[in-house]
Structure 1
Amino acid sequence: MGTELALYDAPPAKQPSGCFLSLPTSQEIQACWELCRLHNNIGFWVVYLPTTWSIALAYHAQSDLPGVAALARAAVYVPLCFGVKSLIMTIDDILDYDIDGLVERTKGRPIPRGAITLPRAWLFFALQSVIGIALALKLLSTRALYVSMPVWPLYVIYPTCKRWTNLAPVPLGAMFNIGVLMGWADLSLDGHIPWETLLPIYFGACLWTFTYETVYQHQDKVDDVKIGVNSPALLCGDYTIPITTATSIGFLGLLVYGGIANGQGWPYFVGVSIAGAMLLVKLAQTNIDNPHDCRDLFLGTVSVGQVILAGLVIDVVAQRLMDGIPL
């Protein structure tokens, strides 16, 4: 791959003036905004929604858990999930800047176009990490911190994956969906974490990530072949829709299994069914050779997750009202 990359060297970036520790310029502030993808927050949603699923599951299973505690925890995770998403996006752009400069869709990102130097991008990432760790230590329970720690190394491993494997969505899913385990860990009243309920949902959510990320990567497949990098789109090829249909069914099946294990009611299963229909119909309509179709399916990911969350919320509220349990 090194030889192929050398054949398609990215144009040298225009380096902003100023020393390493100088105050950021307006150009660099804009570049940092883009590095965090704050102009496009789908990354936030795909991290946040699995976390809220977990909070709703814990709220359903623990009748002594006050609703205000669940809502407060959901609010706490908003800045945390924005931070996680921003960290992942920033380190991805830093470690992939040479490849990004060779791909039509990504060559306008801040580092390839020269809006910020690589050292200054690393400095920005370090500042994000310090702030993020401080917030996590302040806001998360010890249990939730311990649950999240196994995926921390993936923050750095994931951006390198396209250089050596076609399965980058696997570590991406492990990172994005760790909130499925963390939300309940934060709200457990007795310290118990029901792995038999949460792990199936976690692995199902990872299949969901594989589904939308594989289709999304078809936008870059021509450039990926030219450069010599790997992607799940190249691995699955013309079989992408059958494969991602299978992973979608696996995702939905594991959600149902976890719901049964948690004693969920019919509103939850209706929500899963509607979300599944949305996802499967969209997959069937997707032409993987049409970048607009691939991007469209990816953007619809948020709605799928929100419908599942709506089913969970309606389920627990209805159950508490019927049982006379305070919300």
Structure 2
Amino acid sequence: MFSINISYTVLRSTRSNLIKSNSIFHYNKVSFYSTKLNNEYSSDNYSKLYNSLTPKQKVIFKTPPSKMEKILKTFTEDQVKQSEYERYLHIKSVQPWLLKFNSPKLVALAELFRTDKPTGTHLLLTPCIWSLTMSSLMMLSGFNQLQASVVDSLCTFGLQTSLFIAGAYIMRSAGCVVNDMHDRDLDFKVWRSLQRPMACGRINYTEAWLALLGLTGLGVAILYFGLPWQCWWLGLASLPIVFVYPLFKRFTYYPQVVLSSCFNWGSLLGFAAILGSYNYADSNETEKKEDLEMEDLPWRSMAGLYVTTFLWCMIYDTIYAHQDKKFDIKANIKSTALKWGSNTKPVLYTMAVIQSLALFDSFNEAGLIGKDRVVSTASVFAFNYLLFRTIYKVNLDDPKNCWYYFKRNLKYGQVITVGLLIEYAYQLFKHKDNETKKLTY
């Protein structure tokens, strides 16, 4: 999970961080990256807000003077004030509780961990929830000749889901720290990342290292002590993909391939987390195995879900990349958006067809397609419809429209999430009813 989140964060930030030249032009032309509060900025509003703050809040508000000399080589003083103004109002809007502590360091750490921008974490978590729920449903149906009770299923699902949620937030934060440490001398040259805590001097390198060590320790503890051993080995298997990332982002047009490969590893880990949590009877039914062997995992269903989430990520991240294509050309940044150009939609349609077939096969292998699984079946068709509709509707030459449909993918993923959870709740109720009938007879 550590490698997944780090690779996602580094990949996601590459475009903006490498645009080092012509930053003022970037600031003027790409205002849609700023918050919706951008239009409210004026020198009078800035003064009113600043004068209304307490002394500690003013420290939170202002850019530390240690980096101002370097920042002013790229931006004007008024532009820096606008970034301060937007940043403070953004924090006040999404995380007002932070300001109540009046702690500049606490606010900076929260920004370093991207707690105010959870979209990436939610997209990362979605394939994990799918695989956790699918495997829990398989256990209720008698996977590997072991039918879990309602209590065992709920306890296992609840525990593993909690661990995955905690792990996703912790390790995505760790990835953000690594990213900011690496790009601390670049971020203040780009408008969108100007106020990042390391770029403007609110967090120093030593503090970032301590934060990273703490987050990494928590993540490894969850992986080692909370999850079955199958998850450990599956997690390690993703490391080679991370190592080849520099080759992809610098010398090929397919950084999205590496992003999609790592970002959706949770679609495999969720199966191992649930199915690896049980003991299984030997064939002679006289002894118990301690755990499930790797070869006994439902690899076809796992592979189908992984292909599904991989291609889904390829689709929405290519749409995301079309926002920056004009600036990527100037910065010599390669992406599928530039490689496919005007042929992007036909390629996306092709991937969507393969994705829909893989999703159907994965659900079918897991026993989640058919008249007895109406909700999960309906969620598959609804998700596919929304994905095809996105490709049809998105205007790849309109950055705002690309951003809109990129964010919509989080809602589209929730269609399957909700469908699976409803199906799981129904099967739990049905399973409980069957247990009652058995006891009655």
The alignment's TM-score, normalised by the length of structure 1, stands at 0.84
| Alignment equivalent of 2:314, drawn from 197, 210, 231 | 210
| Alignment equivalent of 2:113, drawn from 32, 36, 53 | 36
Residue of structure 1 equivalent to 2:391: 283
Which secondary structure does the structure 1 equivalent of 2:314 belong to? helix
Residue of structure 1 equivalent to 2:234: 147
Residue of structure 2 equivalent to 1:130: 217
Distance, in Å, in 2 between the alignment partners of 1:242 and 1:107 is 37
Q: Is the 8 A contact 1:177 1:205 kept in 2?
A: yes
| Alignment equivalent of 2:345, drawn from 238, 241, 261 | 241
Paired residue type of 1:52: I
Residue of structure 2 equivalent to 1:8: 21
Distance, in Å, in 1 between the alignment partners of 2:136 and 2:418 is 14
Paired residue type of 2:228: S
| Alignment equivalent of 1:58, drawn from 114, 123, 135 | 135
| Alignment equivalent of 1:294, drawn from 399, 402, 410 | 402
Q: Which residues of 2 match residues 1-327 of structure 1 at below 5 A?
A: 8=21, 15=66, 26-63=103-140, 64-65=147-148, 66-96=153-183, 100=187, 104-118=191-205, 120-152=207-239, 154-155=241-242, 158=245, 161-188=248-275, 189=278, 190=280, 191=292, 192-264=296-368, 265-322=373-430, 324-325=433-434
Q: Is the 8 A contact 1:276 1:304 kept in 2?
A: no
Residues 189-246 of structure 1: CA deviation (Å, up to 9, x unaligned): 3313111110111121011111111111122222211111212221222222222232
Distance, in Å, in 1 between the alignment partners of 2:104 and 2:252 is 34
Offset of residue 10 of structure 1:
7.9
Offset of residue 113 of structure 1:
4.1
Distance, in Å, in 1 between the alignment partners of 2:190 and 2:346 is 27
Distance, in Å, in 1 between the alignment partners of 2:317 and 2:65 is 31
Q: Is the 8 A contact 2:321 2:335 kept in 1?
A: yes
Structure 1 stretch 147-156 or stretch 163-172: which is displaced more? 147-156
Paired residue type of 1:8: S
Paired residue type of 1:128: L
Residue of structure 2 equivalent to 1:21: none
Distance, in Å, in 1 between the alignment partners of 2:122 and 2:171 is 11
Paired residue type of 1:199: A
Distance, in Å, in 2 between the alignment partners of 1:289 and 1:280 is 18
Which secondary structure does the structure 2 equivalent of 1:219 belong to? coil
Change in 2 beyond 3 A, CA 1:253/1:6? closer
Distance, in Å, in 2 between the alignment partners of 1:42 and 1:164 is 28
Change in 2 beyond 3 A, CA 1:124/1:183? same
State the identity %: 25
Q: Is the 8 A contact 1:201 1:254 kept in 2?
A: yes
Distance, in Å, in 2 between the alignment partners of 1:103 and 1:224 is 13
Offset of residue 138 of structure 1:
2.2
Paired residue type of 2:333: V
Q: Is the 8 A contact 2:20 2:190 kept in 1?
A: no
Change in 2 beyond 3 A, CA 1:313/1:28? same
Which secondary structure does the structure 2 equivalent of 1:308 belong to? helix
The alignment's TM-score, normalised by the length of structure 2, stands at 0.64
Paired residue type of 2:130: W
Residue of structure 1 equivalent to 2:27: none
Q: Is the 8 A contact 2:19 2:327 kept in 1?
A: no
Aligned length: 315
Instruction: Flag structure 2 segments of 5+ consecutive residues without an equivalent.
Output: 1-17, 25-63, 68-101, 141-146, 281-291, 437-441
Residues 165-192 of structure 1: CA deviation (Å, up to 9, x unaligned): 3222222222221111111212213313
Which secondary structure does the structure 2 equivalent of 1:300 belong to? helix
Structure 1 stretch 114-123 or stretch 36-45: which is displaced more? 114-123
Which secondary structure does the structure 2 equivalent of 1:30 belong to? helix
Paired residue type of 2:262: M
Change in 2 beyond 3 A, CA 1:282/1:313? same
Which secondary structure does the structure 2 equivalent of 1:162 belong to? helix
Distance, in Å, in 2 between the alignment partners of 1:91 and 1:160 is 19
Structure 1 stretch 158-167 or stretch 198-207: which is displaced more? 158-167
